[in-house]
Amino acid sequence: MNSRTMTGRLLTLSPIGLIACWISFGAAMGFPESGDHGAMVAGMSENAVATKWLMGLAMLFIVLLIGGLAGLRSSMAGGSGSDYATLGIIVIAMSATFSFGEIAAFIVAAEVGAAGDTARAMTLYLAGNGIGATSSAGILLGMAILGYAVYIQKNFHPIIAVILIVTGLFGAGMALYDYGSPLMPIGFIGMTIGIASIGVSTLRSSD
């Protein structure tokens, strides 16, 4: 298996796996309103084991995503969009590191809540939520920058670039404005479609 095949597989599977973890996390709790902090803490506390495993898997898929993006950056080296690709991926990687704080806070909040300490669980959850808002804004901004790199280098279909730019900018703004908004998933769905499409295209070109 060559490096392009590895990059393609990582870019295809990691965003799909990541969004599947978050959807499963919501399903395990009965899809409470994300802006209702009390309902979120109650759902996490009642499903502490599921929270721990699903958030742990999400961390794994984030690591795989960064690996895939590193491979994408290498494949774009020397092109007209390579500098923007590097900038975007650096922003994504740095922001993803902070997102581990959100995940860790959620796991601990679920365990503390399951033990009956609702007040401390709420504090941990709110701390994680604050970290998540800023880290998600950074990740989606990085995706928009990466989309611009793809657009000017023209190494993938321009629709992919437009999806990453539009949904990335929208999601970054929404994360900072109202992280609990029901519109927030638009950014992550766009990211999933855009990055997975790049992965599929990379796999096809490596055959």
Could you tell me the mean pLDDT of each successive run of 10 residues in the chain, 207 residues long?
85 95 90 86 92 93 94 90 94 93 93 92 93 95 96 93 96 93 92 95 82
Q: What is the pLDDT of residue 62?
A: 94
Residue in 167, 136, 161, 134 with CA at minimum distance from that of residue 146: 161
Q: What is the pLDDT of residue 85?
A: 94
**91 conformational bin, left if phi > 0, alpha if psi -120 to 50, beta if neither:** alpha
Compute, in degrees rounded to 10, the torsion defined by CA atoms 186, 189, 191, 195. Answer: -160
Q: What is the pLDDT of residue 207?
A: 61
Q: How far is CA 205 from the centre of its chain?
A: 25
Q: Are 185 and 1 contacting, i.e. CB atoms less than 8 angstroms apart?
A: no
Residue tagged 């095949």 (tokens): 5
Q: What is the pLDDT of residue 206?
A: 67
Q: What is the pLDDT of residue 36?
A: 85
Q: What is the pLDDT of residue 1?
A: 58
Contacts of 80 (CB under 8 A, 6+ apart): 152, 153
Q: What is the pLDDT of residue 35?
A: 79
Alpha helix positions (H), 29-117: 37-46, 48-75, 82-114
Residue in 168, 174, 171, 176 with CA at minimum distance from that of residue 146: 168
Q: What is the pLDDT of residue 141?
A: 96
Q: What is the pLDDT of residue 142?
A: 96
Q: What is the pLDDT of residue 162?
A: 96
